[in-house]
Structure 1
Amino acid sequence: MSLESVKNYFKENNLPLEVTETDKITDTVENASKAFGITEGEIAKTMGFQLKSGECILILTKGTAKIDNQKFKSIFHEKAVMIKDIFEVTSHEPGGLCPFGLKTPLKIYLDETLKEYQVVYPAGGTPHSAVKISVELLEKITKGKWINICK
């Protein structure tokens, strides 16, 4: 279902994007970079967080970046808490989380580390997929807000 929701999202919005599938597991940055023959940094790692208000958000960073808890707290004024049931909130499997074809619209934040690349590879809804996308188009499609949240 998750893979189909991403493909349908691209089709319905006339986006020139395709989901690349592989038999290899791409559930981690390391596995995805090996499966697609790219550097770990080129992976657009998508993480889901739940705020105290109950609002869920997605933050995308380069694959090798790590969220800085102090920066998270300074931006969102609370401690970082991961979404407990990511599938329920997004319709995407763990290891396949991406900002496309979501069950319900979520606010998207893009970390400045993504700007190190012209093209990045977020997952495609499953832990066996990826989407090659320019950082510029990623920002446009997701209406992502740029933040500096990594170490």
Structure 2
Amino acid sequence: MSLESVKAHLGKYGRDKDILEFDTTSATVDQAAEAIGVIPAKIAKTLSFRGEGEKALLVVAAGDARIDNKKFRHTFGMKARMLSAEEVLDHTGHVVGGVCPFGLSKEMNIFLDTSLQRFEMVYPACGSKNSAIELTCEELYQYAGAKQWVDVTKDWNGEAREQTAATTEN
């Protein structure tokens, strides 16, 4: 059902036929990267956090980025507390491993992390443990109905420069 809600959501933009479905699992960043044939950093992972009151929030970040608790607190005014697997399913309608910012079961605030902006194309999941779609960052922002770009991650900056330089040189 989750994949179906994502297909319906992306269908509004004429992109439902562009969803990639794999014979193997793509539930983790590394598995998704292998299934697609890209570096893990290009996987747009969706992280679910407790928000204000009953409303949760999603942060979509590059596959090689980790949440920086200090930046998160500064940006959102609260501690970064991830939802449990059951809460993720309840809020998003997607199982862990297929969570994405599309076709959600509840309204949520969605933010995109700047770690994604170094790539022309990124690959978020599509509601199941074996799906993804190739999108530009602009498309991801639009289709997700994101509120804004944020900088709440760490551990990707140095690697990003190296990957970009290596790609440019080849």
Q: Same fold (TM over 0.5)?
A: yes
| Matched-pair identity in % | 37
Contact 1:118 1:136 (C-alpha < 8 Å) held by counterparts: no
Partner of 1:149: 152
Superposition RMSD on alpha carbons, in Å?
Answer: 1.2
Q: Distance in 1 between matches of 2:38 and 2:129?
A: 16
The one-letter amino acid of 1:27's match is A
TM (normalized to structure 2)?
Answer: 0.84
Measure, in 1, the Cα distance between the counterparts of 2:48 and 2:113: 13
What 5-or-longer segments of structure 2 have no aligned partner? 155-170
1:88 Cα deviation (Å)? 1.0
Alpha-carbon distance between aligned partners in 1 of 2:21 and 2:91, rounded to the nearest angstrom? 23
Partner of residue 88, structure 1: 90
Match of residue 37 from structure 1? 37
Q: TM-score, normalised by structure 1?
A: 0.94
Mark the runs of 5 or more structure 1 residues left unpaired by the alignment: none
Pairing partner for 1:101 from 97, 100, 103 = 103
* Separation of aligned partners in 1, 2:9 and 2:76: 29
Q: Compare the two structures and name the one with the higher helix fraction.
A: 2
For residues 33 and 58 of structure 1, the distance between their equivalents in structure 2, rounded to whole angstroms, comes to 21
Residue 10 of structure 2 contacts residue 143 of structure 2 at CA under 8 Å; is this kept in 1?
no
Distance in 2, matches of 1:129 and 1:121, equals: 10
For residues 22-61 of structure 1, the aligned pairs below 5 Å read: 22-61=22-61
Query: Which amino acid in structure 1 is aligned with residue 135 of structure 2?
Result: I
Aligned to 2:165: none
